[in-house]
Copies of this chain bind each other. A is one copy, B any other.
Amino acid sequence: MVQNQAKYEKVINYIKENILKGDWPIGSKIPSQRKLAELFGVNRSTIVTALEELKADGLLEGVMGKGTIVVNNTWTLLATSPPPDWNETASSNLTKATQLGSVEGSEEHQDHFIQLSKGELAQDIFPTDHMQQVMMRLAGSLEPFGYEEPKGFLPLREAISEYMNRQGTEVSPSSILIVSGALQGLQLISAGLLYRGSTILLEKPSYLYSLQVFQSAGMKLLGLPMDDQGMNAAAIKKHYENEQSILYTIPCFHNPTGILMTEERRRELLNVCEQLRLPIIEDDIYRELWIDGPPPPSLKSLDQHGHVLYLGSLSKTLSPGLRIGWIAGPEQVIDRLADIKRQTDYGSSSLSQRVAAEWISSGLYENHLSFVREQLEKRRTKAMQILDDYMKDLAEWNVPAGGFLIWLKLKVKIPYKELYSKAYQQGILLNPGSIYTEESVPAIRLSYGYASMEDFEKGIKQLREIILKNR
């Protein structure tokens, strides 16, 4: 099988190369299956499979009475080759995550699935009525809008500044850059401030492992252990490598473990980073989703010397569809990032920025957050009960103090790939723990924020059965 696989790939590469070099121009007939089989010393079935793949890719086409001909030799050829300049980890992760359909924003036509892991609030938490109100109000006072200021719509930056100040993190509007979600924030930081070969220290597991943003730019992820207080700050010194390192952390309701970093740990972390001159990215997009009580102060608010770049977002609290997030940090840094942002997409949607500004400055956002917290508390209670009912003997988990993520650590040994594909066949979508590390880990990221609690129960019950059958 391995040998067949290798031969099959040889055939594919041979054909692609001949097309690329122009030896087989568009419209030309490629050699017969018999000849190709002879050339490579393989069965005709191997050739047929290879040709089928190239046809599906849009490079070849079977034409009645003419045999197989070349139909494309430029963009499609580029698009079916490995991504240029990406390291292997990054492109294999991309494929992995895409195939599993398990990354935020990737679920096309998956309405019929039970989403046990989706990192988004349920549609019944979406504030349709108030969103309508905001849009009507905005329409009523609409003025022409064009390209925005490089840092984003000023009234939105002012609203965010006031909002963060009330939360105890003092940030001026000129120290804020509006971005199209926190992911874009990371992209901009990667493109504008970091070097290829930089090391990113981070929690292990971490959401960041599921992204290509740093890895595709040639950076190395170095995971540090966590306990129930958050990232192990003492471990940083041991792992710290060089002046080009930075640290990435999700201190509030960490993705994927749900852990809330304690105030003591935050101070310790900041202290260590200051000593090592290690810049920090604080991804704080879950902060507002507290259930048991407001989280400790942000790292940014404790930071006296501009060590922290802060990421905020409306995606997890209001709607990911707005694509509104922000970076707060030293003004010189924000200026640089604004420049890069302008060179990337000329700024975020004016409409989204106006809608977001209206939500925050009117106070509707804060009201909505109270509602979200109530909903999450109810859902958490129910989810814990369901897990107690069906998973006690099979897994361990944390009770998150906020957010909607549960890190379900399985106590039984089972073949994980089979687990996920069986679940998928039964209409259950799961994010395997391995997306969030570099290794295979016996864990699943669950979310009680998206599926209805009836679906959640149904899904967990089915999951139990799959585990029992396959262990």
Binding site for B on A (CB under 8 A): 20-22, 26, 57-58, 71-76, 78-80, 83-85, 94, 98, 103-109, 120-121, 123, 126, 128, 131-132, 135-136, 138-140, 142-150, 180-181, 183-184, 187, 191-196, 211-213, 216, 243, 274, 277-280, 305-307, 309, 315, 319-323, 329-333, 335-337, 339-340, 342-352, 355
25 A-B pairs with C-beta separation under 8 A? A26-B274, A57-B332, A58-B331, A75-B193, A79-B330, A79-B335, A85-B195, A105-B148, A108-B149, A136-B136, A148-B321, A180-B180, A187-B344, A191-B216, A212-B343, A213-B343, A216-B343, A315-B346, A319-B350, A320-B346, A321-B349, A322-B351, A323-B345, A323-B347, A352-B352
Is B144 a contact partner of A76 (Cβ separation < 8 A)?
no
Distance, CA A332 to CA B94, complexed state (A): 16
Known A183-B344, A343-B94, A350-B323; judge A73-B105 contact (CB<8 A). no
Is A105 a contact partner of B147 (Cβ separation < 8 A)?
yes
Given contacts A21-B243, A72-B305, A180-B349, 6 further A-B contacts (CB under 8 A): A58-B332, A74-B277, A78-B194, A84-B195, A123-B144, A213-B343
Distance, CA A337 to CA B78, complexed state (A): 11
Residues of B within 8 A of A195 (CB): 84-85
CB distance from A328 to the nearest CB of B (A): 11
Is B347 a contact partner of A76 (Cβ separation < 8 A)?
no
Residues of B within 8 A of A335 (CB): 79
Known A103-B342, A196-B84; judge A140-B148 contact (CB<8 A). no
Is B351 a contact partner of A104 (Cβ separation < 8 A)?
no
Distance, CA A280 to CA B72, complexed state (A): 13
The prevalent SS among residues of A at the interface is: loop
Give 3 closest A-B pairs by Cβ, nearest first.
Answer: A321-B350, A126-B144, A145-B321
Is B306 a contact partner of A58 (Cβ separation < 8 A)?
yes
Distance, CA A214 to CA B199, complexed state (A): 25
Residues of B within 8 A of A336 (CB): 79, 83
Distance, CA A222 to CA B98, complexed state (A): 36
CB distance from A445 to the nearest CB of B (A): 16
Distance, CA A306 to CA B60, complexed state (A): 12
Distance, CA A280 to CA B213, complexed state (A): 27
Central interface residue in A80, A213, A333, by most chain B CB within 10 Å: A333
* Chain B residue at smallest Cβ distance from A142: B132
Residues of B within 8 A of A121 (CB): 146
* Chain B residue at smallest Cβ distance from A120: B146
Is B305 a contact partner of A193 (Cβ separation < 8 A)?
no
Is A193 a contact partner of B320 (Cβ separation < 8 A)?
no
CB distance from A60 to the nearest CB of B (A): 12
Distance, CA A184 to CA B343, complexed state (A): 9
Residues of B within 8 A of A280 (CB): 74
Is B194 a contact partner of A319 (Cβ separation < 8 A)?
no
Residues of B within 8 A of A103 (CB): 342
* Chain B residue at smallest Cβ distance from A450: B146
Is B120 a contact partner of A143 (Cβ separation < 8 A)?
no
* Chain B residue at smallest Cβ distance from A353: B321
* Chain B residue at smallest Cβ distance from A273: B74
CB distance from A347 to the nearest CB of B (A): 6
CB distance from A442 to the nearest CB of B (A): 27
CB distance from A58 to the nearest CB of B (A): 5
Contact residue among B71, B105, B136 (Cβ-Cβ distance under 8 Å from A346): B105
Known A345-B181, A349-B352, A351-B321; judge A330-B76 contact (CB<8 A). yes
CB distance from A31 to the nearest CB of B (A): 20
Distance, CA A132 to CA B337, complexed state (A): 33
CB distance from A241 to the nearest CB of B (A): 14
Distance, CA A142 to CA B139, complexed state (A): 14
